[in-house]
A and B are shown apart, each in its own frame.
Chain A
């Protein structure tokens, strides 16, 4: 007689060979039905036609560095457009001798971001480090002290501008979006109406028109002689835009919360602020990490729209390189490089978000 808590003994056989390993996978996924088998063959043919030629264009017949003349008669890609113009593509109109300044500023920013990733560092000292870092970055970019010549914000361009606009855009838009979402749920009619009007109006227009309005229309209302820094205008437009979308996503998260959580918090005697801060927002914001990251990634890529107000982000600097007659024919290479650059940044953000979700997946 078997032990009371276990099932009776049985034989454990091995599965059949067509169901396991590589053959099993192929059989199960690519050739399981007649139309799947047909699709597999069709795609295999397409890949055969496309991949080897692309591979030989990009890697085998290509030129990786050297003057533009060397590229004239080759069949492959002319990647030299990138190394030859890298300085302008990355730093834009920032004065030639001073490139170390935006370079260091970017490194400091990236360093702080990487440092903040690990939850071990989430202490009060982190805020302090960020404050110091931001002051140093601002000084490096603007100059005027320690013998560094002043570089006006209008000349800030290229990758540092893209990073700066997206980073500060995300960091400011997120808390603003959360407050808008909470305001929209408010029982006070004035606050609720204000938030709804803001969100719906901002979502109703494209970012490009907001940039346009902030740059062209807004200064018309300012008194004579008062100007607003151009980069600041773009930054504010990006923040206001992103915040409206974050607000709606957070509202979705708030609606997903079960009433029981609110009731348990109420019955313990927690007030509104405590309930939101300690109970509801930690859970709601965690639920909506995927769509939030989507919005932030869009914000990062939307920085390329600042070209409309004559700011030179990394996309525009690349285009300017292409307008040089020496390098005009090589737009494919330039845009592939840009795509890889954007991809690396976006992939880093999105894989961090997955890691964050896993870390916060506490027991649920």
Chain B
């Protein structure tokens, strides 16, 4: 039987590899009527299961054009404007003391938010993935909540609690503790917006892996902590890294939530994104884009690591599912 729907890579350069046949196409032997008719059959079948070449090229052009206009162009604009007045101006713009202190604050906020959310992610995924209990789905939905809240509202909720008009505002004021319009508020807002990142990467991965390996380790005499460190952590390390990278990118790039709680005090409560806004609004656009280019670089690095790690995460997930299938087969 022929496999009419499969187009070989040789016959078509742009067909997806997922659908190409591993068998090389037979050479188009002109003297062989059987082969020619098979070739014709294949051509007819191809027409029915993929698009005409013109349509394919047009779709690729549309997709690349769309991404070019919306993704590549803004990135190019950032770097081109940042370097508009030469490399020495660029370096001066970045070495500005206000920029350096903004960088420091961004690093502090991310440096506190990411580890805290990492610990939470590990605890939540252990509880959710390794145990069966009622209300699990509700808990997962609650963990995802911060993703669906507007950044501005994410900042506002802390103003309403710790601000002067808020629940604890008067008490904090009496004791001279500043949270809103100070660093703690910025850290809190950053924690909120990056809250689900690690947990939502780990939960599905650990759920797919099940608890059998941990149970085996315990039966062999490992302590709970040893089991976690030697069995669970190595099994989820790529998913963990993936979540941490995304969490960090968002923590360093957050703008709306931080803007509400910051108070915009230069050199004190200005993160990098807030400083970009100030520079831009004061018409120092080259300086604004210089700072922006650093964050754009961070985004590119994040994407590079993410793509590198992604297939490993998928592999871990696939091997976990494979184990489940094998277990059910026996």
Are A and B part of the same complex?
Answer: no
- Interface positions of A (Cβ within 8 A of B): none
